[in-house]
Structure 1
Amino acid sequence: MSRTAPSTAPEIPGLVYRQPLGSGGYADVFLYEQQMPRMPVAVKVLKRDGLTPAIRRQFIEEANTMAELADHPYIVQVFRSEQLADGGAYLVMKYYPPPNLATRAKRERLTVEEVLRTGIQLSSAVETAHRAGIIHRDIKPANVLVSQYGAPGLTDFGIAGRGGNQDEHDEDVGVSVPWSPPEVLYGQSNGDSRSDVYSLAATLWHLLVGRSPFEQPGGDNSAYALMPRIRATPAPQTGRADVPLSLERLLGQAMAKKPDARPQTAIEFARGLQAIEQEQRFARTPIVVLDESGHTTVADGGGRPAPEHTDHDRTSVRAPAVMSPQPQLPTATPRSADEAAVDEGPQPLTISGGALLAGVGVVLLALVGALVWAIGFRSDDAPVDASTDAPRASATVGGGGPVVDIPEPPGLDGQGVPGSVVFTWNYAGVRKGDFYRMRIAPSQAEVVDAEVTTVREMPHKVAAAPGETVCAQVAVARAAGATSAYSGIKCLQGG
């Protein structure tokens, strides 16, 4: 795809030009100030040089597509578009201040919580596009803008397809190789919902690591070098100790070589990300999609049981059922209509007159039963795991869901011995199956960027000449996917 000369910012009624924002192969983006109401807007302008009917048609389709999806909170809003007398065209959009996510990922390490939240929000946008029959086909970090309130905005629908269909002009536009699935790169598919899921996962991987999944630091990362890796090399792990194994597995599945092995829809991928949020005790990010009538809705059950006829693959996420071992006591506390709407189960009984004594008896029996249940649960016949008596960082997630043990950061120590240094560590609540992730480097400053090594047991010995410095950090990891924060950095010298 050849680059053309930058276009000149056109004079647009009601807008005052301020400055350039960026440039692509076929269009430039400028910052304007709208005069009424006064606010900044981004204007995408087609370049005149190299302009073809196919490019002009793609630009018009982009405007129409983004306008069709403009109500979604995570899709960049289009205000208007116009074709100019000289054959050019422009698109007036909501302004998102720099940087985009590609630039942010280069400058800083995004947290796992932020990446999960962004992934769910982007998946919501992509699912909404899919339900409108639109495949994006160019999801990547550079096409995700960020509002001043931190919300992502998916943009650049220039090569989007309707239902995955592709016509004879699409080859003029091309795809972004580092984030595209093998079936698209090798012409086996024009793109569908599963190819967009692949690109979503590749984008999240990029946000975690700071580069695309198959890029090799210092190596040949041209399109011709990347394509064989994307086709044949399994998706690598991120190498970050704070990334849970469950997220590593989900990203690997979503970047599977065969489309059938991936989550089949963006909302399925989003629900997988929500499950990891729950596992890690992060705040739940809602999925926002269009419902069956074409209106934007929050696609979460919110813990309320859905009617049996509801199609859960469309707009709802059903919370796991919560089973309580203790009997529920009746209550006569009055509730508002809003509170009653949240609980669709049996309504509380109103106890009055002669029924009062009977009600008290029921309550007493229930309390006795609960006490007997509690005593029986702690009976000497119950198996006891001695390791669980130690303090631990754990929480019940999802209102009665499984207990997720988040290990505490370990304390790192060690000593130099002849020919090596030996690192040891300790932490409360040791569990069978715990393993460890270590960063090891020759200086304290290099540790945070060092390659992560998986260690199965301690102590851990590292070869070191007498007087040679070795620095390290360690984190505790669990088979269920929970990972502690890293320990402090410890530097030792070989003996």
Structure 2
Amino acid sequence: MTATREASRPPQLPGFTYVRSLGAGGFADVFLYRQHLPSRLVAVKVLLPGRLSDDVRTRFTDEANLMAQLSHHPSIVTVHHASVASDGRPYLVMEYCSQPGLAQRYRAERMSVAEVLRVGVRLASAVETAHRAGILHRDIKPANVLTTDFGWPALTDFGISATIGSRDLPDGASVGVSVPWAAPEMLGDPPRSDERTDVYCLGATLYSLLAGRSPFEVVGGANGAAELITRIERQPLAPVGRADVPDSLQRVLARAMAKHPDERHPSALALGRALQQVEGELSLPVTSLDLPGEQASPGPARGAAADEETRARPVRVVGVGGGPAPAPAPDRAGAEPDPDATRPRGPRALPSAPAPPATDAPPATDAPPATDAPPATDAPPATDAPPATDATPATDAADAGDAGDGVDEAAPEPHPSPALRRRASTVAAAVVVVAAVVGLVAAFLHGSPPAAPDSGIQVHQTAPPAVAVPAVTALTGTRAADGSVRFTWTDPAPQDGDRYQWGVVTATGEEPLTLVGEPTATVPAAGPGQVCIQVLLVRGDGRVSSDAARGCAG
């Protein structure tokens, strides 16, 4: 983000004690709390008081549900609990990561080929797990990968994820993409995506870890959204430029990042097996694929029926509602991410998945390659493609993205045609440039000081919003003899369960909101001058008026 602000006031949460702020973003803040039972540090993501629209609440709830469904995987950030604070703000309790994430590391240090391969295989298994549950991530990038205390990568921020089968955006949806790591089909009009879109983004992320820059940055050149989009769509992928990167790995990355989806690995599992093969060629321990029934070393394709047998089991759905926190999964401490990495984003429908197996995948360990298994090829057969699901379509939206600022030499870029220039200009007009945007959840979940922010590049394509809950009317106030001010207002369309959030309007806009059941509020005695409040109508199902009513009294 180009502008900074102080974090909002942390809410009082039963069973948790506030420790400190971890980061502030455009739609939510993340704080470090200590949970009382079990006793541990957790990261708590809290929506801002002024951002409680219906759309943002829906995105927040969907993000909680998706991450909870997948958080049994060792390389996906764990969600412990979700609820609504006493001041009306929804919050999400997640594992706290104290180690530097990939966004901090890839520009600051030279990561070894062995580590990048190990990270790649583990992330491929996380992405394959999401795909088997019917979920596309669509925003895989270094900023959205944290690191646990045990050195494991942990994928986070499913903010613009979608269900498999929703190839195009439906009417009324919006989507944001992080341009430097986006697949060409995500930059189209309309944007499209499938499992191979995530394969591209994962390949682009691994390329960045090796090169120390995003794949299509140019040293000393223009690296705005329009220029990056032109290169992503038309320019060949330049070599990583490191002598220790074998040609076989360069070929794997080039295939994963092919311009046309049909030329890529057909699945994240296929990409993971290709990376395992490179590990074997380099005489490295072959990293296990963290999927039920998968072997440490790549072997022959098992066919669609076998893939069905290893379908990942969904865990649970966390609703944003009251009630005590459930017994959480074992904690994995991880890195305090860049403050801008987490964004509440597009609504998504949860998929319906086939019946799961009776057991979960055990924690993976690295093992040497098996001697009796033939090596996998870089082109796995079509049977590796994820099985079809009956997931329902979903809509998506995003709030921020990243663009790299580091740089390596890249191949000369072609001059765009006039038509491409017009298209790039149109896209650039919709770009939100945010310095320090590296994924709000990523920035919030780690405890070490965040790295120097990247410049954020994001493309938004927005359709008309849905009908909003109406704002309250006739908001007036009367000052009493003791100096207090009593405000009243009218509910324009009363419904059972209606409540109201109100708060005093201050210069910073950070006064906490109070949830009440009657259309009246009293501000205690204050000094001379006007007293102003804002009021939001809250329906019984949690929907909130898009606009806050404001009123003042002298």
TM-score normalised over the length of structure 1: 0.59
Distance across 1 between alignment mates of 2:302 and 2:161? 35
| Cα-to-partner distance string for 1:368-390 (whole Å, 9 max, x where unaligned) | xxxxxxxxxxxxxxxxxxxxxxx
Residue of structure 2 equivalent to 1:155: 156
1:32-43 paired onto structure 2 within 5 Å:
32-43=33-44
Residue of structure 2 equivalent to 1:201: 203
Residue of structure 2 equivalent to 1:409: none
1:150-189 paired onto structure 2 within 5 Å:
150-165=151-166, 166-168=169-171, 170-171=173-174, 174-189=176-191
Distance across 2 between alignment mates of 1:304 and 1:174? 38
State whether structure 2 residue 143 is matched by structure 1 residue 142: yes
Distance across 1 between alignment mates of 2:301 and 2:262? 29
Whose radius of gyration is greater, 1 or 2?
1
Distance across 1 between alignment mates of 2:22 and 2:172? 28
Residue of structure 2 equivalent to 1:116: 117
State whether structure 2 residue 371 is matched by structure 1 residue 399: yes
* 8 A Cα contact 1:2 1:25, kept in partner: no
Q: 1:263 to 1:53 in 2, by over 3 A?
A: same
1:300 pairs with one of 292, 295, 298: 295
Q: 1:313 deviation in Å? A: 8.3
| Cα-to-partner distance string for 1:382-427 (whole Å, 9 max, x where unaligned) | xxxxxxxxxxxxxx97527899xxxxxxxxxxxxxxxxxxxxxxxx
1:212 pairs with one of 191, 200, 214: 214
* 8 A Cα contact 1:164 1:190, kept in partner: no
1:263 pairs with one of 253, 265, 289: 265
- Match of 1:284, SS? coil
Distance across 2 between alignment mates of 1:313 and 1:245? 33
* 8 A Cα contact 1:110 1:207, kept in partner: yes
Q: 1:181 deviation in Å? A: 0.5
Q: 1:275 to 1:302 in 2, by over 3 A?
A: closer
| Cα-to-partner distance string for 1:177-214 (whole Å, 9 max, x where unaligned) | 11110110123443210000000000001111111101
Q: 1:142 deviation in Å? A: 0.6
* 8 A Cα contact 2:297 2:369, kept in partner: no
**Unmatched 5+ residue regions in structure 1?**
290-296, 317-395, 404-448, 453-495
Residue of structure 2 equivalent to 1:311: 306
Q: 1:176 deviation in Å? A: 0.9
* 8 A Cα contact 1:159 1:170, kept in partner: no
Residue of structure 2 equivalent to 1:279: 281
Q: 1:112 to 1:49 in 2, by over 3 A?
A: same
- Match of 1:107, SS? coil
Distance across 2 between alignment mates of 1:197 and 1:70? 20
Partner amino acid for 2:259?
A: K
* 8 A Cα contact 1:66 1:157, kept in partner: yes
Partner amino acid for 1:299?
A: E
After superposing the two structures, state which structure 1 stretch, 55-64 or 40-49, moved more: 40-49
Distance across 1 between alignment mates of 2:33 and 2:142? 24
| Cα-to-partner distance string for 1:89-119 (whole Å, 9 max, x where unaligned) | 1110111114210101122111001000101
Q: 1:84 to 1:187 in 2, by over 3 A?
A: farther
- Match of 2:45, SS? strand
| Cα-to-partner distance string for 1:344-364 (whole Å, 9 max, x where unaligned) | xxxxxxxxxxxxxxxxxxxxx
Residue of structure 1 equivalent to 2:522: none
Distance across 2 between alignment mates of 1:254 and 1:113? 19
Distance across 2 between alignment mates of 1:183 and 1:303? 29
Distance across 1 between alignment mates of 2:236 and 2:300? 39
**Unmatched 5+ residue regions in structure 2?**
312-367, 376-406, 411-554
Distance across 2 between alignment mates of 1:308 and 1:259? 21
Q: 1:154 to 1:30 in 2, by over 3 A?
A: same
Q: 1:307 deviation in Å? A: 8.7
* 8 A Cα contact 1:18 1:32, kept in partner: yes
* 8 A Cα contact 1:102 1:142, kept in partner: yes
Distance across 2 between alignment mates of 1:231 and 1:306? 32
* 8 A Cα contact 1:135 1:161, kept in partner: yes
Q: 1:225 deviation in Å? A: 2.2
* 8 A Cα contact 1:137 1:191, kept in partner: yes
Distance across 1 between alignment mates of 2:409 and 2:191? 36
2:193 pairs with one of 191, 194, 215: 191
TM-score normalised over the length of structure 2: 0.53
| Cα-to-partner distance string for 1:47-79 (whole Å, 9 max, x where unaligned) | 233443212211110000011111111110100
1:427-438 paired onto structure 2 within 5 Å:
none
Question: RMSD in angstroms over aligned alpha carbons?
Answer: 3.1
* 8 A Cα contact 1:287 1:298, kept in partner: no
Partner amino acid for 2:206?
A: L
- Match of 1:236, SS? coil
Identical amino acids, percent of aligned pairs: 48
Q: 1:263 to 1:188 in 2, by over 3 A?
A: farther
Q: 1:217 deviation in Å? A: 2.9
Q: 1:122 deviation in Å? A: 0.5
* 8 A Cα contact 2:46 2:90, kept in partner: yes
Distance across 1 between alignment mates of 2:287 and 2:116? 11
Distance across 2 between alignment mates of 1:257 and 1:202? 12
Tell which has more relative contact order, 1 or 2 (C-alpha 8 A, sep 6+).
2
| Cα-to-partner distance string for 1:122-164 (whole Å, 9 max, x where unaligned) | 0101100011110001101011000001011100011111115
Partner amino acid for 2:76?
A: I
Q: 1:306 deviation in Å? A: 9.7
Q: 1:176 to 1:10 in 2, by over 3 A?
A: same
- Match of 2:218, SS? coil
Q: 1:302 deviation in Å? A: 6.2
